[in-house]
Amino acid sequence: MALLEINNLEAFYGMAQSLHGISLNIEEGSIVGIIGSNGAGKSTLMDSIMGLVNTKGSIKLEGEELTGKKSADVVKLGVGYAPERAHLFPYMSVYDNLLVGGITAKEDIDKNLSMVLDLFPNLIDRKNQETGTQSGGERQMVSVGRALMTSPRLLLVDEPTIGLSPKVCLDIARALRKLNEETGLTILITEQNVNFAMSLASHIHVFETGELRLSGPTDELRSNPELAKAYFGH
Amino acid sequence: MTQVLIQGLMLSGLYALIAVGFTLIFSVGRVLNLAYGAYLMLGAYVYYYLVQSLHMPKIAGMVLAIAVGALAGWLKYKLLVKRLNGDAVAIEISTLILAVVLQSGVVLIFNDSSKILLPIVNGITRFDGVTITHNLLTASIMSWLILGGLLYFIRYTHMGRAIQAVSMDTKGAQISGVDTEQVNQLTWMISGALGAIAGVFFASYTQLSPSMWVTPLIIAVAVVIVGGIGSIVGSLIVAHIIGFMEISVSTFIGAELRGVFTMLLIIGVLVIMPKGLFGREEL
Ligand SMILES: Nc1ncnc2c1ncn2[C@@H]1O[C@H](COP(=O)(O)OP(=O)(O)O)[C@@H](O)[C@H]1O
Ligand SMILES: [Mg+2]
């Protein structure tokens, strides 16, 4: 059984439908990438998993149905989420932001805090800085860190590289790879930056206007002519 | 001068207590709870009824008044605010109507004459020619203790941080595992309880009457507008600006004008600094 099984998922904002019949599986211990341009439905997929959008169809985490649950319960079941634009608490310190992430995993707080600071050492000196005054890269690290504080089995990361310098992108890629290799954490990542996604993920799903267009192992898709044409312009 | 300092300090503590429950709801729920003054009235009348009519001990009256306030806050959230689902204007109008309905209820039960609430603590002390009633002194010390406790709770406990988190970014709080429904319920309960305590102290400082919800509401709105909500600390500062201003006005100009200056301050700040002195809406 895959860790996450999505079956025939549809998502709605009021009358507008943003996802059409999405089915995909995520195997435990893998890094899976979702690529697609603006408005393809990447964030909607992640918000659907978190119970933030009206959906039809099924989303199962190790066989347990997530649809219809509230976010706090999805978090408790083991899904951590670093959303687009981070959604941090701007007038709280880095430390307090991380502590809020620990609210459903209080017994793991010490362990998770040292894991996060180990993963992102530049946060150590900034523990008391309000996140509203931080750079985009630092905020992205706090966002991933806050998600890790929930002791997740599945980590969702939505477009972590938006607006970040190549150097910071590399730092984040390194951290995500390290997490996956050392702790076996399963990671679902969305990107418009195809190279970034392909450098991390073993499997790629391509979204277009709310539909799943293409899926496959990264190595196979890299040489897929349709994808090459759409994303690499040759 | 000593008079202004001492009276100003004590009144400001009371005003801070009045404002903080209102600030809490605005920060977390993004709505002006215009029935907030009614919690003060409710708390004061419950206390009056229990202690001065039924002759219960003062401490029991206080505890029950607080419980009724908390219950009123919770009921209002459950029955009204939640159902109106974030429609701020609808919530504000219906909370205002609720306050007026409560006022009629009070008239019906207690009639519309004003009543004296006996001091919670008797006695006076003279200091440097200034008369200090032990009642207002106790009220302001209690205010400080309660505000200190609230600040500690908000900053250093999991639940308190969750309340802050919801006030700053609801989606961020949800995906961190915060149960936003629980936070909302708790916030409305705390607000009702704070309102009820403030009401007992406020009534013992002024008097009990069916329209007594108006003045504290204006004070709370003034603190919110002048402070731009700001942090709890921001509202404490603004409560002092208003408290000292009112005492100075009534000492040096005339007691009748004290409320007028508060309202002028509201309008002045609205025109000159629409976001308030501190300019943020989170806790
Ligand atoms: N809150 C919302 N209300 C209405 N429509 C939305 C909302 N969020 C996203 N959409 C729509 O859903 C579609 C998918 O958006 P999104 O999931 O954000 O795409 P992506 O993350 O791939 O850029 C778009 O057409 C977008 O306009
Ligand atoms: Mg997106």
Is the pLDDT confidence value at A73 over 50? Answer: yes
Coil, strand or helix at A35 = strand
Q: Rg of the Cα trace of chain B?
A: 18
Residue type, B202: F
Beta bridge partners of A13: A16
What is the CATH classification number for the domain harbouring A200? 3.40.50.300
Q: How far apart are CA B76 and CA B193, in angstroms?
A: 13
Q: Decide if B164 and A86 are in contact by the 8 Å CB cutoff.
A: no
Q: Decide if A150 and B282 are in contact by the 8 Å CB cutoff.
A: no
Q: How far apart are CA A219 and CA A226, in angstroms?
A: 14
What is the tally of structural domains in chain A? Answer: 1
Compute the 3-state secondary structure of chain B and give helix, strand, coil in percent, each to the nearest 5. 75, 5, 20
Residue type, A219: D
Q: What would the DSSP string read from start to end of A148-172? A: HTT--SEEEEE-TTTT--HHHHHHH
Average pLDDT of chain B, as a whole number: 88
B233 touches chain A (CB under 8 A): no
Coil, strand or helix at A212 = strand
Across the range B92-121, mean pLDDT stands at 88
Across the range A182-193, mean pLDDT stands at 96
CA of A39 to the centre of ligand 1 (A): 5
Closest CA to A69 of A55, A87, A81, A80: A55
Smallest CA–CA distance from B170 into chain A, residue:
A87
Q: How far apart are CA B40 and CA B218, in angstroms?
A: 13
Closest CA to A52 of B169, B230, B160: B169
- Both tokens assigned to A135: 């750079």
* pLDDT for res A234: 44
Is the pLDDT confidence value at B230 over 80? Answer: no
Task: Report pLDDT digits (tens) over B157-212.
Answer: 999 999 999 989 999 999 999 999 999 999 999 999 999 999 999 998 888 999 89
Chain B partners within 8 Å of A103 (Cβ): 158, 161-162, 176-178
* pLDDT for res B95: 86
> Do residues A131 and A142 make contact, with C-beta atoms less than 8 angstroms apart?
yes
Mind listing the domains of chain B with CATH numbers?
Answer: 2-272 (1.10.3470)
pTM of the model: 0.90
Average pLDDT of chain A, as a whole number: 94
Is the pLDDT confidence value at A228 over 80? Answer: no
Q: Name the more confident of A54 and B261.
A: A54
User: What's the domain range around A16?
Assistant: 4-232
Q: How far apart are CA A107 and CA B208, in angstroms?
A: 49
CA of A14 to the centre of ligand 1 (A): 12
Question: What percentage of chain B reaches a pLDDT higher than 90?
Answer: 34
